Amino acid sequence: MNLTIENILLVGSLLLLVSIIVGKTSYKFGVPTLLLFLAIGMLAGSDGIGGIQFNNPQIAQFIGIVSLNFILFSGGLDTNWTSVKPILREGLVLSTLGVLLTALSLGTFVWYVTDFTIYESMLLGSIVSSTDAAAVFSILRSKNLALKTNLRPTLELESGSNDPMAYVLTIAFLTLVINQDQSLASIVPLFLQQMILGGIAGFAFGKLSKFIINKIKLAFEGLYPVLVIALMFITFSATDFVGGNGFLAIYICAVYLGNQDLIHKKTILKMYDGLAWLMQIVLFLTLGLLVFPSQVFPYMGIGLLISLFLIVVARPISVFLSLMFFKMKLRRRFYISWVGLRGAVPIVFATYPLLAGIEKANMIFNIVFFISVTSVLIQGTTLSIVAKWLNVALPEKAKKITELDQLVLDLPKSSLQEFEILPDFHAVGKRIVDLNFPKSAFIIMIKRNGEFIRPGGSTIIDAKDILMVLADSKEDFTKVNDSLYKPKT
C-alpha cells in the first residue's frame, strides 16, 4: 500500500493506536515498548503484512530530528539540577570522552573484522557511540527503577547530553569519508565550534525563554505550552544556523527552564510528557517502516558480532577509562557500562550516510539498525535484573518521589498549611512566579473574598488572601513563610 494524503491519517492513527495498546501489555513479558513500536513499523512496512511502501530517508531524518527535539527537551525539563549537580563532572565526562572512546574502540574493531576503510569504520562507530535518550528515559521511567547513589541522574544526564558529541563525530567522519584528502586534524575546529556555540546558545536561549514565558501575558493557559514549543524550535534552528550544535543547545535550555519558576509550569510539563511519548512512538514507527527486514538479514552475523563487542568490550572500556579518576564503587561502574542502550538515535544518524550517497551507506544503515535492536532487546530487558545482581537498586519502600511526580501526577505532599497575607507584607502585589517559593512547596488554592481561586504562576497575590500550601517538611514551610511574610521595606 502506498501512503497518500487520503490515507496517511488513517494509517498513522491506526498504527499509533495499535502501538499504545500493545505497549500497555508489553511489560508483562518484559519487552521494552520501544522495541514493539519498531516491530509494528516493520510489520506495517513493505516487507511486512501491511505492505506500506516507505523508502524516503530524507523524510525519516526530518521526523527523527523533530522527534529528538521533543525527547531531549522533555528529558531536560525533567532533569533536577539538585540531583545532577553532585554528578555533573561524571556525566559530562561520560557524554564526551566516553562517546569518543566508544567510537574509536568500536571503529577499530570494525576495521579489523570488515572490509571497511578506517574512516568508514570510525563513521559506523561514531553513529552508535552515544546512549539513546529515548530508550534510557522511557525504560528507566516505565520500569519505575530506583537506583542507589545518584546512578539514575548520572545515566539520564549522560544519555540526554551525549547525542551532540555523537552527532559531531558522525558528521566529521562522514566528511572524511566523502573528502578523503582531508586530514583528521581538520575536524577539530568543527568539533570545538559545534560544542562551544551549542553550549553558549543553550544557556542564552534558556534565560531568554524564561524571560519571555514569565513576562508575556497570554489570554489562555493552553497557549503557554505552544509558546515553549516555538522557543524550543527557535533554539535548535538558530543554534544550527550559526554553526552550533542544536541538540546540545535545546538540552541545556530545557535543563535551565526545568529548574526555574515558570508560569503554568505544571501544564508545560504535562504536555511535554505526553508529547515525548508521542514522538518516541512516531520515531520508532517511522524507522520501522524505513527498514527492509530482507536487507537486514544478510548482515545479522556481522551485526551481532559488532553489537556484542560494543556491549561487552567497547562500552565497558569507555566507561572505566572515563571514570578512572572518580571515586566510584566497582558495581556502579559495571551498571553504567550495562546501561549503554542504543535506540532510535543511531538509526536517525545512519540516515546521514544514506543521504550523502556513500558507497557502503546501506550496509552501515542495516548494521546500525541491528545493533540498536539487539541493544534494546538484550540490555533493555535486563536492567532490573542486573541492578539487583549488582545490588544498586533501591527497595520499593525507599523510592523517592520526584518533583515531576508531584507536578504531573498530582501526588499529595505530607502536610497542608494556610497562610494569611496581611497588607504590609512582601508578597502583596507580586506574582507567584516572582516569590522565590521553595521548589518542594506548592500553592494549591487561594481563598479571596470568600471565593476559591485556582492559582497560576502569573496570579498576583492580594492583601487578605489566604493561601493553601502543600509542602514536605517544616523546613519547607519556614521557607514559604520567609518568602511571603518578609515585611516591605
What percent of the chain has pLDDT above 70? 86
Alpha-carbon distance 348 to 291, whole Å?
A: 12
Place 100 in a pLDDT band, splitting at 50, 70 and 90.
Answer: very high
**Quick check: 348 and 282 in contact, CB under 8 A?**
no
Alpha-carbon distance 104 to 318, whole Å?
A: 9
pLDDT digits (tens, 9 = 90+) for 454-469: 787 778 888 888 888 8
pLDDT (average), residues 284-311: 87
More confident residue, 180 or 413: 180
Place 489 in a pLDDT band, splitting at 50, 70 and 90.
Answer: very low
Place 4 in a pLDDT band, splitting at 50, 70 and 90.
Answer: low
Q: Is 70 exceeded by the pLDDT of residue 178?
A: yes
Look up residue 52 and give its DSSP letter: B
Alpha-carbon distance 345 to 350, whole Å?
A: 9
Give the per-residue pLDDT at 377.
Answer: 83
For CA atoms 474, 478, 484, 485, the dihedral sign is positive
Rounded to the nearest 5 percent, the helix, strand and coil shares of the chain are 65, 5, 25
The single-letter code of the amino acid at 489 is: T
What is the grid cell recorded at 291?
527498514
Domains of the chain: 8-398 (1.20.1530.20), 412-485 (3.30.70.1450)
Per-residue DSSP letters for 91-156? HHHIIIIIHHHHHHHHHHHHHHHSS--HHHHHHHHHHT-SPPHHHHHHHHHHTT--BSTTHHHHHH
Specify the length of the chain in residues: 489
pLDDT (average), residues 213-236: 90
Q: Are strands 466-471 and 451-453 parallel, antiparallel or unpaired?
A: unpaired
Specify the residue for cell string 570488515: 114
List the helix and strand counts (H, then E) for the chain. Answer: 24, 4
pTM for this one?
Answer: 0.76
Place 401 in a pLDDT band, splitting at 50, 70 and 90.
Answer: very low
For 400, phi then psi, to 5°, come to: -95, 150
Q: Find the helix or strand (DSSP H, E) in which 415 lies.
A: strand 415-420
| C-alpha distances in Å from residue 158, one per residue of 162, 208, 258, 349 | 6, 25, 17, 18
Chain-centroid distance, C-alpha 39: 22
pLDDT digits (tens, 9 = 90+) for 27-45: 544 456 667 777 787 887 7
Alpha-carbon distance 177 to 116, whole Å?
A: 11
Q: Number of C-alpha atoms within 13 angstroms, CB side, residue 28?
A: 5
Alpha-carbon distance 377 to 381, whole Å?
A: 6
Give the per-residue pLDDT at 262.
Answer: 86
More confident residue, 449 or 122: 122
Specify the 3-state DSSP secondary structure of 460. strand
Lowest pLDDT segment from 255-264, 358-367, 397-406 = 397-406
More confident residue, 137 or 319: 319
C-alpha dihedral over 239, 242, 245, 247, to 10 degrees?
20
Residue in 70, 110, 123 with CA at minimum distance from that of residue 282? 70
More confident residue, 334 or 282: 334
pLDDT (average), residues 144-165: 77
For 110, phi then psi, to 5°, come to: -60, -40
Give the per-residue pLDDT at 473.
Answer: 73
Q: Is 60 exceeded by the pLDDT of residue 412?
A: no
**Quick check: 303 and 157 in contact, CB under 8 A?**
no
pLDDT digits (tens, 9 = 90+) for 240-264: 999 898 989 999 999 999 888 888 8
What is the grid cell recorded at 123?
563513521
Q: Is 60 exceeded by the pLDDT of residue 124?
A: yes
pLDDT digits (tens, 9 = 90+) for 298-307: 888 999 999 9
Mean pLDDT of the chain: 82
Residue in 157, 260, 251, 134 with CA at minimum distance from that of residue 198? 251
Give the per-residue pLDDT at 417.
Answer: 80
Alpha-carbon distance 306 to 320, whole Å?
A: 20
Give the per-residue pLDDT at 102.
Answer: 94
Specify the 3-state DSSP secondary structure of 153. helix
What is the grid cell recorded at 107?
571503529
**Quick check: 310 and 128 in contact, CB under 8 A?**
yes
Q: Is 60 exceeded by the pLDDT of residue 219?
A: yes
Place 315 in a pLDDT band, splitting at 50, 70 and 90.
Answer: very high
Chain-centroid distance, C-alpha 83: 16
pLDDT digits (tens, 9 = 90+) for 183-206: 777 778 888 888 899 999 999 999
Alpha-carbon distance 302 to 275, whole Å?
A: 36
Strand order in the sheet with 451-453: 415-420, 466-471, 441-448, 451-453
What is the grid cell recorded at 312?
561487552
What is the grid cell recorded at 395?
527497595
Give the per-residue pLDDT at 24.
Answer: 59
| C-alpha distances in Å from residue 84, one per residue of 12, 81, 156, 387 | 38, 5, 9, 20
